[in-house]
Amino acid sequence: MVHTSRLWLLVLALLLVFVAGCSATATITPEQQSAVSGDEAVAALKITGKVNEEVGWSEEEIHSLESIQVESTNNEGESETYTGVQIWTLLSMASVKPDASMGVFIGGDGETAEIPLSEVQDCEDCIFTFRKNGGFSVLVPGVSNKLLVKGVAEVQVE
């Protein structure tokens, strides 16, 4: 009988430990909560800096905007047609501040190129091109290929 009582006490103790473990609350970081709830969409391209509203878009959102085709010379000196969204269209959506003068285009690999905003503001052929394998490049016809940024992920307005 004493042996049976000890066995029941042991089972009861294990049951209490199990129940206590099940009722423990987990600590979730804000980053984890955001990932679970989907609050934070991954931006394929974002505009930051001297803007009234920092904005980020998914690739699908940018593809849904009005696009144009631009003919320009590629690195091999051949004429090629590029499709994309005008740079100033996206900058306007972020509402560039009046004292801003420069755009720093940053690639996913950290490569950067700077261009005065005045050069893209009235340039109808300056576009974020749609890359064949996803992502965007910067095309500013008539300007040095040094300004070509592949895989552009951000524009910092200065």
pLDDT digits (tens, 9 = 90+) for 44-66: 999 999 999 999 999 999 999 99
Q: Please report which confidence band the pLDDT of residue 68 belongs to, taking 50, 70 and 90 as the band edges.
A: very high
pTM, whole model, 2 decimals? 0.71
For 14, the domain range is 2-35
Q: How far apart are CA 80 and CA 98, in angstroms?
A: 35
150 and 83 co-located in one domain: yes
Whether 3 has a pLDDT exceeding 70, the answer reads: no
Residue 142: what residue type? G
Q: What is the mean pLDDT of residues 132-138?
A: 93
Q: What is the mean pLDDT of residues 100-129?
A: 93
Tell me the CATH number at 126: 3.90.420.10
Q: Answer whether 97's CB lies under 8 Å from 51's CB.
A: yes
Strands (E), the chain: 45-49, 55-57, 68-73, 79-86, 102-107, 112-116, 127-130, 136-139, 152-157
